[in-house]
């Protein structure tokens, strides 16, 4: 477990399974919960405030096969290129939870991203302001032959998504069962 409880960070942050970030200032590099070449799951990245303004990515796990990874953002002012729970050839059952803050994904925000099969990933948004392209499942959209199935964007609460574009999948994909769920207040 890696905890960063404040200060200024320049460069890259790599966690060891669990990465908790509270109230930092970061203006370069990237944030990666785990970065392996094999099969990896169950990593946790939590961002609970601060200012993160980077050209790099915020990724729960980057590997050949990822499953069960979680990226949670509860606050802060965050701008990054790619924000996702996992990037892999096989990316499944990963989750992004956003409940506060301002999140600007200059490239894309997704539950899971990959270059092969992307399935059963969830992006849950219950608060905050979201800016950019949002994908339930994302293959990068630049090649055919990728499969993106059964991924969900779940929106509840009162998030501001007026500057966001919502997609079930990227272009050029074999796709089915991707969903956008709007959960009303009770």
CA distance 49 to 75: 4
Domain boundary assignment for the chain:
2-182
pLDDT of residue 96: 95
Q: CB under 8 Å, gap of 24 or more: what pairs does 9-12 form? A: 12/56
Burial of 158 (0-12, 13-18, 19+ CB in 10 A): exposed
CA distance 182 to 159: 11
| Low-confidence residues of the chain: pLDDT under 70 | 16, 34-39, 141-144, 171-173
pLDDT of residue 141: 58
Q: Helices marked H in the chain — which ranges? A: none
Measured over the CA atoms of residue 134, residue 135, residue 138 and residue 144, the dihedral's sign is negative
Three-class HEC string of 147-165? EEECCEEEECCCCEEEEEE
Q: What share of the chain is helix, strand, coil (3-state, %, to 5)?
A: 0, 70, 30
pLDDT of residue 42: 79
What is the DSSP-derived secondary structure letter of residue 172? T
**Residues, the chain, total?**
186
pLDDT of residue 28: 85
Predicted structure pTM score: 0.92
Instruction: For residue 52, give both structure tokens.
Output: 């993160």
pLDDT of residue 142: 60
pLDDT of residue 76: 92
pLDDT of residue 144: 66
């Amino acid at each position: 477990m890696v905890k960063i409880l404040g200060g200024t960070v320049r460069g890259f942050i790599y966690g060891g399974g669990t990465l908790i970030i509270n109230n930092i200032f970061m203006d370069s590099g990237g944030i990666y919960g785990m970065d392996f070449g094999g099969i990896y799951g169950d990593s946790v990245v939590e961002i609970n405030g601060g200012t993160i303004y980077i050209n790099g990515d915020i990724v729960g796990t980057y590997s050949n096969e990822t499953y069960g990874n979680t990226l949670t953002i509860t606050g802060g002012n965050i701008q990054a290129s790619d924000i996702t729970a996992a990037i892999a050839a096989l990316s499944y059952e990963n989750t992004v939870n956003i409940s506060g803050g301002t999140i600007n994904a200059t490239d894309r925000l997704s539950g899971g991203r990959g270059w092969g099969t992307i399935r059963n990933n969830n992006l849950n948004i219950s608060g905050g302001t979201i800016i950019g392209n949002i994908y339930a499942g994302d293959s990068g959209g630049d090649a055919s032959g990728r499969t993106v199935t059964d991924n969900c964007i779940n929106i509840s609460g009162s998030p501001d998504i007026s500057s966001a574009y919502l997609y079930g999948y990227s272009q050029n994909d074999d796709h089915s069962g991707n969903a956008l769920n709007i959960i009303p207040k009770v």
